[in-house]
Chain A
């Protein structure tokens, strides 16, 4: 369908800005594996410090890219399925807030004043522009949510007897999770960190800040993931040449995510003091609950793909897999999505390891953790973002994709790279390799007393995989930026592939209403987080002043 010109341009900016920044994010991804494996034994290269680059890598790849994309893709699905356009002013304001916020945060990081990594754990202090910029990015992403609720309600009034499309439910569920979880981090940033970093307040409660951060931090990963899930349910079966096995399974999955995405954040804090074991165990168990929708999705999507392959004439228990449209330029998006799904098998299972209460002691904060999340956020999330970004770029500009062969092989190459990379990191993690550490200076520097020969093989695997991932990223940039420079050959439009459901499905009122699910969500969050926050406040008896990452003496202001 046609989209008005202002909305189209805003969407294009929201797709282009993060991919442009991603060049920097991926550059430092490569640099990190080089530093970590001890090939470079320095604190900085080309003016970019290791930890400064690590902050850039995390903020750009995991916060900026994902948030911009979720907003742009959310607009696309809402426009396409409700046949309504968002409010132009609101969309513009949202885009400007996000772009200016990103600019502020990027300037603070590039100036070397915010090397605090993307989790910005206090008492390490960043420049206030970093906190304010991040807050603006988040607030900017809230704006379209309220606009979409309006579009949904207006669609609903016109179609009272119709089931809401799965993509619309998915988008609204995702942004509801996002809005609720970011309230906690907005409190952390705006009420605690900004005045503290400006010197208006002296000291803050660090455990409270960490607990509020992880209230947001784990729901964040579902905010990354749900756009990919929307694509798996509504787009992938169509691309494979089949139908969606069950639309209601998708609705159930999304509503389970709605109620369970937030009340599990303490599973990032099993090693933390001040929070009781009961709270930790409860949230560990709830994390297994949030694995259920992924099991459901794995089945539904595999069944949809098998149906598609059999329609293409496949037989046999397993051999149907080879009938799927791999390596096909015309359905390149299939390659991006299927590779993401393959990576997510390993990503999901290693996630269960991390969530397993005492088993977490083996892997917490070792390189096992980045090994795991490069199989999730660097797997289905990242590949779906890349694939859909270039797909939407091509449609919204009316330009054909440049170097379509490169674009088609990117996801396969990336998958090979990330599998080797993550295998190396996870192996290293199991033998104690720490994450977030410039190991080239000490642990992998043979002339250092701290040299640890056990970590040579694992970090070299990381280097090999990282090199392949970087190559895949380069090929993607050639294709993406090449497309921007082509001549227009078609009218701009948004046209998403739509998967029909295999069976005729009646409308189930419970699966077409947000109210009961929102009530359960609120209740579970209250029951799990009230004790966590009260523990963090009551068991922490000393507050902390701000520290610069370069200086063991606190920042004192007269």
Chain B
């Protein structure tokens, strides 16, 4: 049915795919790269706030609305590990933190969570990247890591 070349090509394709899938598990295990966590939703996520757990651990609860994020600016010290929780009170919004590979969807009725460590000082811009109405292009927030010192 299949000739030699075809067999070889199917084996190669399977090998390459296996390599890709291994890389996914490698990133997941050794490099701790994971996607949004699945948490059951409750009302407490609807209050925007920054909470300090200890010296280097923070939690930021983001609430997205047409057309802003709250908290619009949060101050975090360098080296902090930050849990980000994102939800929306109206339509679907996007949530992308520059340079940090944080990419979440803010969906009403659900909460997306990820954890990120800020090792470099700077201003990290957050952009809404899902169309959320006519003001979509205005929707931004910032995480300020040790700059200016506060």
Contact = CB atoms under 8 A, between A and B. Distances in A.
A207 B35 contact: no
B61 to A, nearest CB: 13
A276 interface: yes
Interface stretch (A219-227, A282-290, A417-425): A282-290
Contacts of A432: 96, 98-99, 125, 127
B6 A434 contact: no
A295 B41 contact: no
B8 to A, nearest CB: 9
A503 interface: yes
Interface stretch (A22-30, A312-320, A436-444, A492-500): A436-444
B147 interface: no
B17 to A, nearest CB: 5
B133 A280 contact: no
A274 B107 contact: yes
A535 B110 CA distance: 11
B33 interface: yes
Interface residues of B, number: 66
Contact of B23 (A280, A356, A506): A356
A552 B109 contact: no
B38 A275 contact: yes
A253 to B, nearest CB: 11
Contacts of A359: 24, 27, 33
18 contacts: A43-B134, A51-B134, A121-B130, A124-B133, A206-B110, A270-B35, A274-B107, A289-B17, A292-B17, A295-B13, A359-B33, A364-B129, A432-B125, A434-B129, A437-B131, A505-B1, A547-B90, A552-B66
Contacts of A554: 90
B94 A365 contact: yes
Nearest to A357: B24
Contacts of B6: 245-246, 249, 296, 299-300
Interface string A196-222: 000000000111001000000000000
B33 A361 contact: yes
B34 interface: yes
Given A122-B91, A273-B111, 11 more contacts: A116-B131, A271-B105, A284-B24, A296-B6, A361-B102, A432-B96, A441-B138, A442-B138, A542-B108, A544-B108, A547-B66
Nearest to A445: B137
Interface of B: 1-3, 5-6, 9-10, 12-14, 16-17, 20-21, 23-24, 27-28, 33-42, 65-67, 86-87, 90-92, 94-96, 98-99, 101-105, 107-113, 125, 127-134, 136-138, 140
A556 interface: no
A322 B53 CA distance: 66
Contacts of B21: 285, 288
